[in-house]
Structure 1
Amino acid sequence: MTKMIERMLMHKLLIALCALVLTSVTAPFALAQSCRLGTPGQSVEVAIADTGRPMLMHRPALSDEARTPLPLVVLLHGSGSTGKAMLAESGLARTADAHGFIVAAPDAGIPAGKGFVWNIPGVPTITGKVPGPKDADDVAYLRNVISDLVAKGCVDPTRVYVTGMSGGGRMTSWLGCVLADRIAAIAPVVGLRAGNPWKKDPARPDPASCTPSKPMPVIAFAGDKDTVNPITGGGAGYWHYSMHAAEQRWAQLNHCTHPPTTRWVSATTYEERYTGCRDDSDVVGRIMIGKGHGWDADNDAMWAFLSRYRRAS
C-alpha cells in the first residue's frame, strides 16, 4: 500500500514537472505572439515604457500576431527634423510592408528649432553646442525602445537594425559603437562615422572613441555631391574625416582581412566593400553619382544587407 502511494505521488510529481517545463518552453512563444501595438499597414504613436517620450511605429501590412516577433529597423531623423518627417522622406514604411519588418521612428531628445537633434557625447550638434549632462540621454532611450518592443512581443531581439540620415546617420554610427550588444547591423545614410574626429589628426577617427563589444556589419549610403557631410571630409566640426576613412576604421574594428573591392552596381552607383571580416561582418559604402544631401539610399539593397545578420540574444 505504501509503495502504491509512493508511485502515485511520484507520478503526480512527474506530471507537475512536465507542466512546468512545458510552460517555461512555450512562454516565450506565447509572448512572441502577443504584440498588439498598432494595426498592420499603419503608422501609430506608441508609448515607450516609462520614458515619457512616445514614438512613431509602423507595423508592416502583412504582419499579424501569429507572425510576430518581427525584425525591427530603428529610423533616426536628421538634425532639426522629426521621426514623422523622416518616415515620410525615407519611404521605409513601403519597404517594411514589402519585406515584413517594423519601423520605429523616434524623435531625438534635444529640441532644436521645429525639430530635434541627437545627443552624441562630445560631438557638437548643428547648433554648435556640445550636449551636456542635463541633456536627454538618447542612447539610454533607444535602448529602452528596443527593450520595450521586445518585451511587448513585437520585435525579434536577434534582428534589430538601425538606419538614419545625416545627424541620424551619425547617431546610427554611434549606436554601432556603443550598442553592439543589441544591434545586428547598421545603415547610415549621408552620415557614416566611426567615432569622433581625432584631436591629434581630425582627418582620422579617434580609435579610442569607438570600441564596439562585437563586430558590427555596416552598409552606408552617400552622394558624391553632398556639401553638408562631404564624402571627402571637411565640413562641420562633427565631420572632418572622409567617408572612406570611416569605412577603413570599421573594417579594422571588424577585423576584415581581404583587400577592399570597388564595383559599379548601376550606371550611377558604385560600391566599396570590405570582406573576410570576423562573423562575416562586411563593411560596404555605396556612393551615388550626382546626388547631394538627402535620403540617398536604395531601401531594398539596404534591407537585403541588414537582413543577412542576426545578433545573439
Structure 2
Amino acid sequence: MARRLAQALMFAVIAALALPLSMASGRAAGTDVEATLPVDGVARSYILHLPPAAAGGNPLPLVVVLHGGGSNADSAIALTGFSAEADTEGFIVAYPNGTGRLKPTAETAGQFSWNAGDCCGAAMRQDADDVGFLRALVSTIEQERAVDRHRVYAAGFSAGGMMAYRLACDASDIFAGIAVVSGAILVPSCTPSRPVSVIHVHGTGDEAVPFKGTPERESYARAKFPPVRDSVAFWAAFDGCRAQPVARATVLGIKVEDYPDCRAGTAVRFDVVEDGYHAWPDGQMTPGFAATPHIWRFFADHPRL
C-alpha cells in the first residue's frame, strides 16, 4: 500500500510536469508575478496570477491554489488550469509553495508539501507554520491588490486538499469556502470559528487517499486516513446543514451529494467520481466533468454573507 501511495501521489506531479509549455502557460491574457514573503525568518515563495479584469481596479475574488505533496506552484498551475479560468471569470489566483526538505538534493529540490496536521512529509516533520504563511499571504495580497474580502477561497489537491481543510479549521475567519480534490481532514482537533462552504471531489478508486480510509498509518504519508465521508459529514454538521444529503446524477460516472439548508449562506457538496483515481478531473478522463470550472461556480455562488 505504501508503494502504491507513493506512486499515486507523484503521478499527478509527473503528469503536470510533462504537459507542453503551451498548456502550462495557457494564461497569457493575464499577468504572473513571482514573489517571496518572509515568515518567521524564512522567505516563502508564491506565484500571483492577475487576470485582465484586475486592471479595472474593482475588488476581485481571490483563490489560493495549493499543490499536492512532492509538487510545487508551477505544477499546480499546469495541473488545475485555474489561471485560464481566472482570466475568463475575473478573479485573482495565488499559487504558494509549501515547505521542502531542510537539505534538499538535486532530486528533491522543488518538491514541497504542507503541514496539514497529521500529514505530510517534511512540512509535518518540521512543524512548518503553513497556516501563518497563508494568512500572511492573503493579507499581503489584500494590501497590494483590490480583493473582495467576502470572496476569498482555497482549493487544493491531495496534500494541498488536506491543507485546505486545515485552513477551514484554523482560518475560517478569512476563507469563505474551500475546495478539496482527493484529500481528507487530518487536523487532530478542528475548531472553526465560523461556517465555511465546502466542496469535496473524490474518486472511489483512489488508492493514495482511499475513499473508505485506512485502518492504520501509512508509511509514506505517515497518516491514518479517515473515510472521506467523515470529512464531508463534519462540515455538514458544523455548518448546520441537513444530516442527509440530496443525491443527484450529473454526467456519467459522477454523483453529486448536496447538503441543504446550511447556516450563514454556506453549502456543502460532495462529488463522487465512480472508479475515479487520485487525480484532478480535467474533463478528459471524466467526460463532461472538469473540476476547475465546477469548483469556481461553487465558489462564485457562495460568498461570505
TM-score (ref. length: structure 1): 0.76
Number of equivalenced pairs = 257
| Structure 1 residue ranges without an equivalent (≥5) | 1-38, 197-208
SS at match of 2:75: helix
Question: Which of the pair has more CA radius of gyration?
Answer: 1
CA contact (8 A) 2:54 2:60 kept: no
Q: Deviations over 1:280-308 (max 9, x none)?
A: 32111111223211113521111111112
Q: Deviations over 1:50-98 (max 9, x none)?
A: 76223111112x3243243211110001111001111111111111111
In structure 2, distance between residues paired with 1:130 and 1:76: 16
The aligned runs of 1:201-240 (5 Å cut-off) are 209-234=189-214, 236=218, 237-240=222-225
TM-score (ref. length: structure 2): 0.78
CA contact (8 A) 1:271 1:285 kept: yes
**Which residue of 2 is the match for residue 309 of structure 1?**
302
CA contact (8 A) 1:49 1:144 kept: no
CA contact (8 A) 2:119 2:159 kept: no
Q: Deviations over 1:114-170 (max 9, x none)?
A: 31111234x14246x8434xx431111100110001011332222110001000000
SS at match of 2:43: coil
| 1:309 alignment partner AA | H
SS at match of 1:117: coil
Deviation of the 1:258 alpha carbon: 5.4
**Which residue of 1 is the match for residue 182 of structure 2?**
190
In structure 2, distance between residues paired with 1:307 and 1:54: 27
Structure 1 vs Structure 2: percent identity of aligned residues? 33
Question: Which residue of 10, 30, 33 corresponds with 1:41?
Answer: 30
Moved over 3 A (4+): 47-51
| Residue 129 (structure 2) pairs with residue 137 (structure 1) | yes
**Which residue of 1 is the match for residue 249 of structure 2?**
264
In structure 2, distance between residues paired with 1:102 and 1:227: 33
Please, what is the CA RMSD of the aligned residues? Answer: 2.2
SS at match of 1:290: coil
Q: Deviations over 1:26-69 (max 9, x none)?
A: xxxxxxxxxxxxx9613231233676223111112x32432432
In structure 1, distance between residues paired with 2:297 and 2:124: 36
In structure 2, distance between residues paired with 1:269 and 1:73: 24
| 2:195 alignment partner AA | P
In structure 2, distance between residues paired with 1:151 and 1:225: 43
Deviation of the 1:264 alpha carbon: 0.6
Q: Which has the higher contact order (CA 8 A, sep 6+)?
A: 2
